[in-house]
A and B are shown apart, each in its own frame.
Chain A
């Protein structure tokens, strides 16, 4: 059995609000799977169902072959989760938080103490082990939560927006931990994010979620190939679309701009200018991009996704990898 998580037709309704509207996906053992989408897409609801904290309205969800509704205890044993909001006991020290977690998961003795020391070392909190969590910064708390979630060696590590609200430096460290855990332990990781660079950086496969639905699923490359090669985004002085070669596809975006898919934007742009002039259109703005997950998202939903704040601090490396 190579699928550690199976989600089939999952639906979750809160009163009149349909947070998740019938989604299906599978996560393979050992991969990093990302749910990418804006706030309110239903990502957190989905992982709360997987973590046995919400009952599905309809559909079936299983972790390692155990149904989350009927065999919650079996599922809980196998997962470690880092919530979007902190879930630490701030009145206790970092060490005590780890220790109590270990005991609750059936660990104990010297082995537990050793593992706590290792993990606090791993997230670089060893020297803060005996400080009250109340005095920790947001980044330190997140790192402690990551360490705590790893304590009982879960088969599936769930991270809900692992780097939201963190400074670029801490974000980079959390990314390193995630890669390290995956490499060293071969752990399956499910993460949610609304940062497309985070999804691209960390995930083997990505499901793009919007308004309770999965719009597309695949590797970052596969998702980008949904679009083709380059994307030209233009705004004309009045609504218009061009569909003649070299433009392969054209559609108007809700904000009035026009998205055109071309093979090679550098060559297509002059032709677009000519075509616009010939039809008496004025180009108000124009830009082109290699497709990123943002273009994929824009293409699928008509809205834009954001990059995480850290990407702006290191654009050269970021651009270089894209090509």
Chain B
């Protein structure tokens, strides 16, 4: 059984599951859209002034962008971040409902199975991110959609990393309840300390330290660069650090899954 084939089978399975549960697409799109509409409209109004001096000051704070453009491009990255992590966590459901055992006894390379799974899920999440980018364009017309494919490439790297992180956690986790704990105490802080909602350069040191180790920081910066031209670190640095962090999670997930037993 070849690696490519097993990889393909798992991509197929994840896409099939997505097609079967199209209703979930609406659910997963709801959250980013709520952020854009209810948070973006509110904060956007706070940060918009008729005074040109104030206006240019605000733009300076947000890397030369108006707040709506700043936020919506960040939300594109956030969609991938949360969506792919949750998809990785669904391994826990496979564990609960038994399909995990079916993949564990299969004579296919375990690495191919777990990577195919992450990749299939990431493709679904990228579709969601693309839809969010279109929504973003509607409320922030200065967004440049020609940069979307490049932006999604950053999303792909982030998505593979976060799906893998979710898999590692769910393979180690014994109860679904721990999922809530991880969401509230890890994912939410990382979501805020990433530059999705506000720039990081004026944060206190401890917060900056967290943001520096946060893969979402670099994904958001890269996505924002390709959609608007504004960037805090530069697209190349974003790409290198994001890839490095994701690679660690991907390697961990392969390692964990290869040695997985029912013990």
A residues contacting B by CB (< 8 A) are: 14, 48, 51-55, 73, 76-77, 79, 81, 83, 85-92, 96, 100-101, 103-106, 132
Contacts and interface: CB of A to CB of B under 8 A. Distances in A.
Contact of B102 (A48, A87, A91): A87
A96 B19 CA distance: 13
8 contacts: A76-B107, A79-B105, A89-B13, A89-B97, A96-B16, A100-B9, A104-B1, A104-B9
Contact of A101 (B97, B101, B102): B102
A51 B105 contact: yes
Contacts of B107: 73, 76-77, 104-106
Nearest to B94: A89
B98 A86 contact: yes
B20 A92 contact: yes
B233 to A, nearest CB: 40
Interface string B25-38: 00000000000000
A81 B104 CA distance: 11
Contacts of A52: 105
Given A86-B98, A87-B101, A106-B107, 14 more contacts: A51-B105, A53-B101, A53-B105, A53-B262, A55-B261, A87-B99, A89-B97, A92-B20, A100-B13, A101-B102, A103-B12, A104-B1, A104-B9, A105-B1
Q: Looking at chain B's contact residues, is the secondary structure mostly helix, strand, loop, or mixed? A: helix
B98 A106 contact: no
B105 A81 contact: yes
A132 B19 CA distance: 13
Given A14-B263, A51-B105, A92-B16, A87 B9 contact: no
A90 B94 CA distance: 10
Contacts of B8: 103
Contacts of B5: 103, 106
Nearest to B18: A91
A251 B102 CA distance: 47
A48 B261 CA distance: 9
A29 B74 CA distance: 62
Contacts of B104: 53
Nearest to A79: B105
A281 B207 CA distance: 85
B20 A91 contact: yes
**Closest 7 CB pairs between A and B?**
A87-B98, A76-B107, A77-B107, A103-B9, A104-B106, A87-B102, A87-B101
A96 B98 CA distance: 16
Q: Looking at chain A's contact residues, is the secondary structure mostly helix, strand, loop, or mixed? A: loop
B237 interface: no
Contacts of A105: 1, 106-108
B158 interface: no
B17 interface: yes
Contacts of A132: 20
Contacts of B102: 87-89, 101
A43 B262 CA distance: 15
Contacts of A81: 105
Contacts of B16: 92, 96, 100
A49 B88 CA distance: 27
A98 B17 CA distance: 14
Contacts of B261: 53-55
Interface in B1-17: 1, 5-6, 8-9, 12-13, 16-17
B231 interface: no
B155 to A, nearest CB: 24
A100 B12 contact: yes
Contacts of B105: 51-53, 76, 79, 81
A251 to B, nearest CB: 39
B17 A92 contact: yes
B58 to A, nearest CB: 47
A88 B98 CA distance: 7
B213 to A, nearest CB: 35
